[in-house]
Structure 1
Amino acid sequence: MADAADYATELNERHLAGALASRAHLAASHATECDDCGDDIPDARRKAAPFARTCIECQGIRELKAKGVRR
């Protein structure tokens, strides 16, 4: 009979497996163009952050907007 610890372990394993699958999918997408401006994402950024979907400039703008900073 499974106890609470077994359920928690199973839930944790499912969550981890899903996160890893999601990350692998993002890394495999190898975006070459920014989702926001359409410019090329530089090779250095794609190597450093293979999951990146935006160029560094657009990512900076997204982060400022998330903080509530107005331009």
Structure 2
Amino acid sequence: HILFRSVPNIDLSKAINSYKSVSSRFVKRDFPRVKQYLWKEMFWSRSYCLLTTGGAPIETIRKYIESQGK
């Protein structure tokens, strides 16, 4: 999960793909051993899921994200 705030007029698909591209390069640069565990050098999958919070308090969303995988 990644929590972020955005302005209404941003192209979210471009923003998400840019984030995935840049973060992938940083991880591969800073942790070169990770490359041996990747499939075809792909750090991220091509897909993503984007959900809005519907005005829920940010702390509620943060706690939900932190509880995932426990």
Same fold (TM over 0.5): no
Scaled by the length of structure 1, the TM-score of the pair is 0.32
Q: Greater CA radius of gyration, 1 or 2?
A: 1
If asked which structure has higher relative contact order (CA below 8 Å, sep 6+), I would say: 2
Relative to total residues, which structure has the larger helix share, 1 or 2? 1
Scaled by the length of structure 2, the TM-score of the pair is 0.32
